Amino acid sequence: MSYRMSPFHLVDASPWPILGGGMALLVALGLVIWMHTSNFFFLFVALMMLLLVSFSWWRDVTREGCYLGFHGAMVQDGLRIGMVLFIISEVFFFLGFFWAFFHSGLAIIPDVGDSWPPKGILIMDPMSVPLLNTVVLLSSGLTVTYCHYSLLLNQQAGGILGLILTLGLGFFFTGLQLMEYMEAGFNISDSVYGSVFFMATGFHGFHVIVGSLFLSACLLRMVKGEFTDAQHVGLECAIWYWHFVDVVWIFLYISIYWWGSVGL
C-alpha cells in the first residue's frame, strides 16, 4: 500500500485500545468490589485480562517497529515527544499530593491538633528504611544509565547486566516499601497526614511497579536482540520514566519523610 512510504506511521485498525480501556474499567470495578467485600477474584481476573491485552498490544507495536520498519526517525521523535508530555502530566499528578501536604503542614488548623504532624501520629524515622529506599532507588538510576550507555557502545552484555541490576533494585525497593507499610504506626484514615502519605507513596510505589514491568519488557527485547545502538526508543522511554520515578522519590523523601517528621 502506498501510504507505507509516508514518514509517519498510519496505524492500522486495532482492537487493543478499546479493549485496554475496558479492562482498565474492570480493574477499577474489581478494586471497588475487593475493598467492600474482600473478594479478590474479580480483581484478579480483570488484572490478568489487562495484562493479556497489554502484552498483545506491545507485541504488535514491537512488530511494527522492529520487523515491519514503520518506526522511522520521524515516528521515533513523535514517540519521544509523547513520552515527555506523559511525564509532564505525571509531574502535575504528584504536584497535587505535595500541594495537599504542604497546605496542611504550613497552615495548621485545630482539626489536626494545632501541630504537624498531627498529634497521635507515630511518624517514621527518615534515617531508617526511607533512607535505605532512597539509596536503593538512586542506585537503580545509576545501573539503568549504565545499561543505556552500554547499548550506545554496542555492548549488549553490559546493557543486559545493567537492566537486571536495575530490576533487582526495583523489586527490592518494592519489598522494603511493603514492609514499611506493614510496620507503619498509622494508616490512611489517620487525618490528612496519613491520607496524603499513603496516597503519595502508594502511587509512587505503583509507578515503580509499572516501571519495573516496562523495563522487564525491554530486558526481554534486549535479550532477543531487538535493540540496537541506533534504534532503541522503547528503552529510552523506559529509562526516562525510571529517572522520573527517582526524582519524585527524592522530593517525597525530603518533604514527607524528612520535613514531615520534624514537627512544627
Predicted confidence band at 1 (pLDDT cuts at 50, 70, 90)?
very low
165-176 average pLDDT score? 96
Same domain for 93 and 38? no
Using the predicted structure, report yes or no on whether residue 3 has a pLDDT greater than 60. Answer: no
Predicted confidence band at 2 (pLDDT cuts at 50, 70, 90)?
very low
Same domain for 147 and 185? yes
Q: What is the pLDDT of residue 6?
A: 62
Query: CA 132 to CA 136: how far, in whole Å?
Result: 6
Same domain for 170 and 64? no
Q: Which domain holds residue 37?
A: 1-70
Report DSSP state, residue 6: S
Domain boundary among 70, 96, 118: 70
Same domain for 93 and 181? yes
Same domain for 90 and 20? no
CA neighbor of 163 nearest in space, from 151, 177, 175, 180: 151
> How many structural domains are present in the chain?
2
Predicted confidence band at 50 (pLDDT cuts at 50, 70, 90)?
very high
Q: Three-class SS of residue 206?
A: helix
For 198-252, what is each residue's pLDDT tens digit? Answer: 999 999 999 999 999 999 999 998 998 888 887 788 899 999 999 999 999 999 9
Q: Which three cell numbers stand for residue 167?
A: 530490576
Same domain for 130 and 4? no
52-69 average pLDDT score? 84
pLDDT cut 70: percent of the chain above it: 94
Using the predicted structure, report yes or no on whether residue 26 has a pLDDT greater than 90. Answer: yes
Same domain for 222 and 148? yes
Same domain for 110 and 132? yes
Q: What is the pLDDT of residue 71?
A: 76
Compute CA 159 distance to the chain's CA centroid, rounded to the nearest angstrom.
21
Same domain for 138 and 228? yes
Q: What is the pLDDT of residue 238?
A: 94
* Contacts (Cβ under 8 Å, ≥6 apart) of 134: 249, 250, 253
Same domain for 247 and 178? yes
CA neighbor of 192 nearest in space, from 74, 103, 263: 103
Q: What CATH number corresponds to the domain at position 59?
A: 1.10.287.70
Query: CA 201 to CA 101: how far, in whole Å?
Result: 12
Same domain for 116 and 221? yes
* Contacts (Cβ under 8 Å, ≥6 apart) of 123: 117, 185, 260, 261, 263
Query: CA 56 to CA 66: how far, in whole Å?
Result: 15
Domain boundary among 46, 70, 94: 70
Q: What is the pLDDT of residue 109?
A: 64
Domain boundary among 24, 48, 70: 70
For 98-152, what is each residue's pLDDT tens digit? Answer: 998 888 888 766 665 567 777 778 888 888 899 999 999 999 999 999 999 999 9
Higher-confidence residue of 66 and 205: namely: 205
67-93 average pLDDT score? 88
Same domain for 27 and 84? no
